[in-house]
Amino acid sequence: MPQYWLMKSEPDVYGWDDLVAEGEGTWDGVKNAQASNNMKAMKKGDQIFFYHSRQGLDVVGIMEVSEEHSPDVTTDPERWVVVKVKPVRKLAKPVSLKAIKQNPELADLAILRQSRLSVAPVTEKEWLAILAMAGE
């Protein structure tokens, strides 16, 4: 059974459209121990919400882990890791951070408790709530 995650990226640095254009992307440059540990826990086929941070502030699409973690050669490969991801689909409508904060079912969502965490787990209940908010 797949696990669920949320990964943040600034759309002007690497956005949903960039991932779609590439077909498969390498999620690199994560230099936070908790986020890195979350990436190490990811398995091929896990589902991930793509969240646009800083600009937009919304969940825009779903991607999946296409390759499990390996050393991040763009930083310190002894310490940090990358995962490869593929786009699955764009959400029917984006789900804003404001709407997420207003949904009581999402009160314990990791990104609300730790707003700077760029790679976070999502429970199945939270996953389904966000999909419903997206009209899916």
DSSP 3-state percent helix, strand, coil across the chain (nearest 5): 30, 35, 30
Q: Please write the tens of the pLDDT for every residue from 71-83.
A: 999 999 899 999 9
- The superfamily in CATH containing domain 4-133 is ph1033 like domains (3.10.590.10)
The strands making up 47-52's β-sheet, listed across from edge to edge, are: 25-27, 81-96, 58-71, 47-52, 4-9, 119-122
Extents of the domains making up the chain: 4-133
This prediction has a pTM of 0.95
pLDDT at 125 over 80: yes
Q: Please write the tens of the pLDDT for every residue from 9-47.
A: 999 999 999 999 999 999 999 999 999 999 999 999 999
